[in-house]
Structure 1
Amino acid sequence: MTEQVVAGRPSGALRRALIPFALAQFICSFAGSNMNVMINDISRDLHTTVQGVQLAITIFLLVMAALMIPAGKLTDRYGRKRCFNVGLVVYGIGALLSAVAPGLGVLILGNSILEGIGTALLIPPVYILTTLLFTELAGRARAFGAISAMGGIGAAAGPLIGGFITSAFSWRAAFVLQVLIIAVIVVLGRRWVRDPLPPDPERPFDVGGAVLSALGLILVVTGILAADDDLWLMTGLLIAGALVLTWFFVSMRAKERAGREALLSVALFRNRTSNLGLVTQHVQWLMLMGVSFTVSAYLQVVRGYNAVQTGLIFTATTAGLLLSSLAAERFAKRRAQRTIIVVGFVATIAGIVTGLFLVSDTSAVWTFLPGLFLIGLGLGTMLTPSVNVVQSSFGEELQGEISGLSRSVSNLGSSVGAALAGTILVAGLTATPQRSYALAMVVVALAGVLGLWAALLLPRGRMDTAVGADAS
C-alpha cells in the first residue's frame, strides 16, 4: 500500500481497507437498534417484560459508551489492528451466546456485556486507522462519510432487517446473522487492513482514569433508568455520576500537569469547534435511538404490530437516511459543514413534530411515514459532517484519544436516548399510551433543539482544513 492517492482518489488498496471498517460500523449500529422490533418476541420467549428488553438494549449502549475512551487508548499500546481483531472475536462470542440465551440474564451477558465490550474495542481502531491511512483530506472526508453513513444505515435499517428475520425465522437468527457478518469482517480485515504505526507496549495506561470515566457514565445513565421507579434514587445517581465525572476531569488535569499518563488529554476540551461538534454527535444519536425505541415499542405493545410490520414502517426512516447519505458528498462540496448540520437538525425536528400532529391512537399506518422519512433524511444529512468536524479538529498525535471520545459521546447519546425516551414511554404505556408516546417524542425533539443550538454556534465556512492545527 505504497501509493495512497491515484488521480485524486484513494488507491484500490485503501478502498478495500474501507470495506471491513464500514461493515464493522454497520453491524455495531445494527445491533443497537434491531432489538427494538423484537420486544414482544423476546419478552414472550425469555419470560421477561418490555422493561427487561429496554434494560438489555440500554446496557449494551452504555457498555460501549463507558469503555470507548479506555479502548481508544489501548490501541496505542497493543496496536490498532490487534484491538480491532480482538474486538471482533469478543463481539462474535457475545452474539453467539445471545442466539442461544435461555433467559434475560444470559442475553444481557452476551448482547449487552460481551457485544458491548467487543464494540468498544473494535470501533476506535476503525476511525484511528481511517485517519492514519487516508492522509489526503478529501479522501479522508469521503472515508469518514462512508463509515458514518453505514453506521446510520445500520441503525435505521436495523428494525427492518431484524423484523424480517424475526418473522421469517426467530429473533435468535438475527444474532446468528451478526456472527456471520463478523466472520466476514475478520477474513477481510486480515487481508486488507494494515496498521501503519507500530504499537508501543511500554506506554503506560491510566487504570484509575478508566475506572472513573466508566463509573461516572454508568451512574448517569442508571439514574435516568431509575426515573420511573424512584425520583430520589434518580437524583442521587445523577448527582453521584456528575461528581465522579468531575473527579475524573480534575484528576486528568492533575496528571497532565505532573507529566504522568492521563486517560484523556484535557486539551481535547479546549477546542470550541470540537466541543460543539461532540454535542451535535451526542444529540444526533440520542434522537435516532430515542425515536427508534419509542416508535417500535408503541407499535408493538399498543398497536399490536409484529416485528416485520414494525420494520416495514421504519423503511421510511431508512429511505430518508439512504437518500441523504448518498448525496452527502455533493452537499459537502457545495455547502459548509455547519450549514449541513443545521439543516439536518431542522429536518429531524420537523419530522418529529410532523409525527406528533399526524399520529393519534386511531390513525392509519401511513401517518407514521412522513415524520419518519424526514427524521431519516435529517439524520443522514448531518451524521457525516459532525464526525468530520470533530476528527478534523486535531492532528494525528491526538487521533486515538479524540476517536475514543467521539465514539463514546455518540454511544452515550444512544444509551441516553434509549433510557430517557424508553423510561418516559414505559412509565405510562399501559395506562395512557398515547400521552406517554407523545411526551417521549417531545423530549427527543427538545434534545434536538439543543443540538440545533450547538450547530448554530459552529464557525461559519469550511472546517475540513483544521487537521493538524493547534488543538488549543
Structure 2
Amino acid sequence: MSKHATLRSGAGGAAASDFGTRRWALLAMSVGVFCIQLDSFGLNLALPRIGRDLHADGAGLQWVISAYLLSTGTLMLGAGRLGDLFGRRRLLVAGLVVFAASTLCCALAPSLAVLVGARVVQGAGAAMIMPVGLALLTNVYPVELRGRATGWALGIGGIATACGPFIGGALTASVSWRAVFWLNVPLAVLGAVCASRTAESHDTGAPRSVDWGGLAAATAALAALSVVIDSGPRRPWPAAPVGLAVAAAMLFVYVRRERAASHPLVELGLFRNAPYMALTAAGAVANTTTVMFLFVVPLTLQGQWGLPVALAGTAFLAPALAMACAGPLAGRVPQRGAVPLMAGCLCGGAVALACLALTSSFMLYVAVATVGGAVLGVANSLTLIATQAVVRPERAGEASGVTKTVITVAAGLGVGPAGAVTDQNPGMGAEAAADTALLATAAGCLAACVVLAVWMRMRPRAFAGRTWNCEQR
C-alpha cells in the first residue's frame, strides 16, 4: 500500500468509501456554507431597521457586519489545523452547534451590544465550519469525486452569497430583520445532525499537541490586521500604523515559533508549494473582485438603471444563478488545468468588469453581469477545490485554513474601494464612482493574470501535474 493510501486509510478508513458517509458529509458542509454566506451578505439591507429597533446609530451598526467577518477571518487559520489533529467531524459538529446557538442569540438580541457579541461567537462557529468541512470532504471522498463534491457544496453556498442581500431585504421588509437569523437556526441544527452521521477523520501521523503560543501569535496578528482593514481609514492617524506594527510584530513571533516547533501549526513548507501559492494568491484577487461585483452590480441596477429593490433582485437572479452553478463546474476541472484556468478566469473577470463600467445598454449590462458571475464563481470555487488537491490529505484542514484566511483578508481589503461607490463626493457622482471602482478592480485582475502567466512560464516543472499531490519542501 502506498504512503498516500495509508494516510487515506488513517484519515477515513473503510468508512471513507461508504456512500452514506459521504452523503452526510456533503449535506452538512452544504448547509453550513449556505448559513455562513447568508449571514455574511443577508444583513446589509437590514441595518437601517436594526438601528431603529435597537436604537443604535450608524457607527455602531457597522459592527453588526464587521464583528462577524473579523471573527471568522481571524480564527479560521487555527480551526483548520485543530480539525486535522482532534477530528474534523468533531469540530464541524461543534462549529455548527456554536453557529446555531449564537444565531438564536442574535434573533433574540435585546440590544446592539448583545447582537454584536453574538455575532462574534457566530463568526467563531463559521471559522470552524469552513476549513474543517472542506478538509472532511477531502478525506471522505475518493480522489476522482473529491472536486465535484466540494464544488456542489460551494455552489450551494454561492446561492446565499449572490442572493443574500435580497433574501435579507425581503425578510426584513415582510417580517423582521430577526427572521434572517431565525431562518438559519434550524438549518444549522440540521447541518450538525448530518455532520454527526458521517465518519470521523483526523491526521493520524501527528501527535495531538498544539503550538498554542504560535496559534495565539497568529490569531493576534490576524486580529490586528483585520481591525486595521475594517476601520483604519476612519480612525485617527496613529491608529492604522500602530495596528500594522502590532500585526507585523505578532507575525514575526509566529514565524520564529513555527521554525523552531517540532510540530508547527502550519508547515512553512506549504508556502514553497508553487501550485498552492499560485492558486491561493489568484483566489485572493478573485475573491476581492467578487466582493466588488456583489457590491456594485445590485446598487447600479437600483441607481443607474432606476429599478426598485424587487426588480433589481429579479434582474440579478441570472448572475446569481450563474455564480452558484459555477461551483459544480469547477469541481470537474482536472488538476493540471486548474492554474491556467484560474489565469483565464482573472482575465475574463477583468473584461467583464470593464464592460460593466462602459456599457450603456441595460440588456447588455445584465448579460455581461451573468458572464461575470459565472467566471468569478468558477475562480472562487476553483481556489478552494484545487488547493485541496495539491496538499497531503492529512493536512487538508491546515491548508484550507490558510487559504480561507488569505482570501477573507483580501475580501476585507476589497471593501475599502467598494465603499467609494457610496461616498458622496461632490466631484464624483455615485455612477462615476462605481465605474471607477470597477475599472480599477479590472486592472488589478489583469495584472494578477499577467503575473500568474509569467510565474507558470518561469517555473513550468513546479506546475506539472506529477507534483500536485505532494508538498514542495
Task: Give the shorter-chain TM-score range.
Answer: 0.7 to 0.9
Which of 165, 168, 172 in structure 1 is aligned with 2:171? 165
Aligned mates of 2:79, 2:335 — CA distance in 1: 36
Q: Does 1:421 align with 2:417?
A: yes
Q: Give the direction of change, closer, same or farther, for the CA distance of 1:303–1:62 in structure 2 (3 Å limit).
A: farther
Partner SS state of residue 204, structure 1: coil
Q: Does 1:127 align with 2:142?
A: no
Q: Give the direction of change, closer, same or farther, for the CA distance of 1:118–1:201 in structure 2 (3 Å limit).
A: farther
Q: Does 1:286 align with 2:288?
A: yes
Letter in 1 for 2:79: A
Moved more, 290-299 or 91-100: 290-299
Letter in 2 for 1:265: E
**Structure 2: segments with no counterpart, 5+ residues:** 1-12
Aligned mates of 2:219, 2:144 — CA distance in 1: 35
Q: Give runs of aligned pairs for residues 36-185 of structure 1, distance below 5 A.
A: 36-48=44-56, 52-111=60-119, 113-134=120-141, 136-185=142-191
Q: Does 1:341 align with 2:338?
A: no
> 2:255 aligns to what?
249
Q: Give the direction of change, closer, same or farther, for the CA distance of 1:306–1:229 in structure 2 (3 Å limit).
A: farther
Letter in 1 for 2:279: G
Q: Give the direction of change, closer, same or farther, for the CA distance of 1:202–1:471 in structure 2 (3 Å limit).
A: closer
Which of 7, 25, 33 in structure 1 is aligned with 2:41? 33
Letter in 2 for 1:34: G
Partner SS state of residue 209, structure 2: coil
Q: Give the direction of change, closer, same or farther, for the CA distance of 1:407–1:463 in structure 2 (3 Å limit).
A: farther
Q: Please report how far the alpha carbon of residue 411 of structure 1 lies from its aligned counterpart in structure 2 after TM superposition.
A: 2.3
> 1:324 aligns to what?
326
> 1:404 aligns to what?
401
Q: Give the direction of change, closer, same or farther, for the CA distance of 1:64–1:133 in structure 2 (3 Å limit).
A: same
Aligned mates of 2:277, 2:207 — CA distance in 1: 31
Contact 1:167–1:307, Cα closer than 8 Å, also in 2: no
> 1:388 aligns to what?
385
Structure 2 length-normalised TM: 0.84
Residues 155-209 of structure 1: CA deviation (Å, up to 9, x unaligned) = 1222232233223222211111111211211222223x11144889972222222
Q: Please report how far the alpha carbon of residue 269 of structure 1 lies from its aligned counterpart in structure 2 after TM superposition.
A: 0.8
Q: Does 1:189 align with 2:199?
A: no
Aligned mates of 2:156, 2:412 — CA distance in 1: 19
Letter in 1 for 2:380: L
Aligned mates of 2:42, 2:155 — CA distance in 1: 17
Moved more, 194-203 or 437-446: 194-203
Q: How many residues align?
A: 455
Partner SS state of residue 118, structure 1: helix
Contact 2:156–2:324, Cα closer than 8 Å, also in 1: no
Aligned mates of 1:380, 1:338 — CA distance in 2: 15
Aligned mates of 2:327, 2:434 — CA distance in 1: 28
Partner SS state of residue 471, structure 1: coil
> 2:6 aligns to what?
none
Moved more, 426-435 or 394-403: 426-435
Which of 225, 228, 239 in structure 2 is aligned with 1:223? 228
Contact 1:213–1:248, Cα closer than 8 Å, also in 2: yes
Residues 119-167 of structure 1: CA deviation (Å, up to 9, x unaligned) = 1122222112112112x32211212222232333321222232233223
Aligned mates of 1:414, 1:270 — CA distance in 2: 24
Q: Give runs of aligned pairs for residues 4-15 of structure 1, distance below 5 A.
A: 11-15=19-23
Aligned mates of 2:112, 2:143 — CA distance in 1: 46
**Structure 1: segments with no counterpart, 5+ residues:** none
Q: Please report how far the alpha carbon of residue 55 of structure 1 lies from its aligned counterpart in structure 2 after TM superposition.
A: 3.6
Q: Please report how far the alpha carbon of residue 16 of structure 1 lies from its aligned counterpart in structure 2 after TM superposition.
A: 3.8
| Percentage of identical aligned residues | 23
Letter in 1 for 2:244: L
Q: Give runs of aligned pairs for residues 245-324 of structure 1, distance below 5 A.
A: 245-253=251-259, 255-256=260-261, 259=262, 261-295=263-297, 308-324=310-326
Letter in 1 for 2:131: P
> 1:355 aligns to what?
356
Q: Please report how far the alpha carbon of residue 223 of structure 1 lies from its aligned counterpart in structure 2 after TM superposition.
A: 2.1
Letter in 1 for 2:340: T
Q: Give the direction of change, closer, same or farther, for the CA distance of 1:196–1:238 in structure 2 (3 Å limit).
A: closer
Partner SS state of residue 233, structure 2: helix
Aligned mates of 1:69, 1:334 — CA distance in 2: 24
Q: Give the direction of change, closer, same or farther, for the CA distance of 1:369–1:108 in structure 2 (3 Å limit).
A: farther
